[in-house]
């Protein structure tokens, strides 16, 4: 399913995906996006500015796109991003580093809409629903393992049967 995520960024852009352990309120979402954008505007790797932008999906998943064609992220710059996101979460009691959350939904008629109607559950709850037959092969799963914009534009939303979750099932 193709998505027009970050239309002004090159296909080769690197992605960083952070899933919160709670649904963010509209006001906190706006504050978070403003704070992230302020951080990204001054983000650098060894003094060289980095070209990055962000989006928030369904008030739950923060995605940062980094164009590394001019300057690549370094270990130090990635650490600074990680520390910033941890700090943002800690100040509001949100954990953006708990990888146990799964976002899923029933298939949408508008296959280009990737931001609406997601349900978030812990992995063990998700598996219980699958076992009960409430999650089927057509259920759409948000793939938070995408690492490039090219990958995200085609694999951000996948049918359960095509997702990494199916290989664990």
User: Is the pLDDT score of 107 beyond 90?
Assistant: no
DSSP tag of 7: T
Q: How far is CA 119 from the centre of its chain?
A: 14
pLDDT in the model for residue 167: 82
Helix (H, G, I), strand (E, B) or coil at 5: coil
For the chain, domain boundaries = 14-90, 101-168
Structure tokens, 14: 């690197």
Helix (H, G, I), strand (E, B) or coil at 49: strand
Whether the full predicted model's pTM is greater than 0.85, yes or no, is yes
Cβ 63 vs Cβ 103: under 8 Å: no
2-47 per-position pLDDT tens digit: 566 898 999 999 999 999 999 999 999 999 999 999 999 999 999 9
CATH annotation of 14-90:
3.30.70
User: Is the pLDDT score of 110 beyond 90?
Assistant: no
């Amino acid at each position: 399913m193709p998505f027009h995520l970050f239309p002004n960024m090159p296909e080769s852009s690197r992605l960083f995906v952070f899933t919160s352990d709670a649904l963010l309120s509209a006001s906190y979402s706006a504050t978070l996006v403003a704070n992230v954008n302020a951080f990204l505007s001054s983000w650098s790797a060894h003094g060289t500015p980095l070209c990055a932008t962000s989006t928030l999906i369904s008030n739950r998943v923060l995605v940062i796109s980094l164009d590394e064609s001019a300057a690549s992220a370094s270990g130090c710059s990635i650490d600074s991003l990680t520390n910033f996101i941890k700090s943002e979460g800690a100040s509001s009691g949100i954990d953006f580093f708990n990888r146990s959350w799964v976002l899923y939904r029933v298939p949408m008629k508008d296959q280009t809409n990737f931001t609406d109607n997601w349900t978030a559950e812990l992995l063990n709850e998700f598996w219980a629903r699958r076992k009960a037959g409430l999650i089927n092969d057509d259920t759409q799963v948000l793939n938070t393992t995408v690492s490039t914009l090219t990958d995200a534009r085609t694999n951000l939303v996948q049918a359960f049967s095509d997702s990494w979750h199916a290989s664990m099932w």
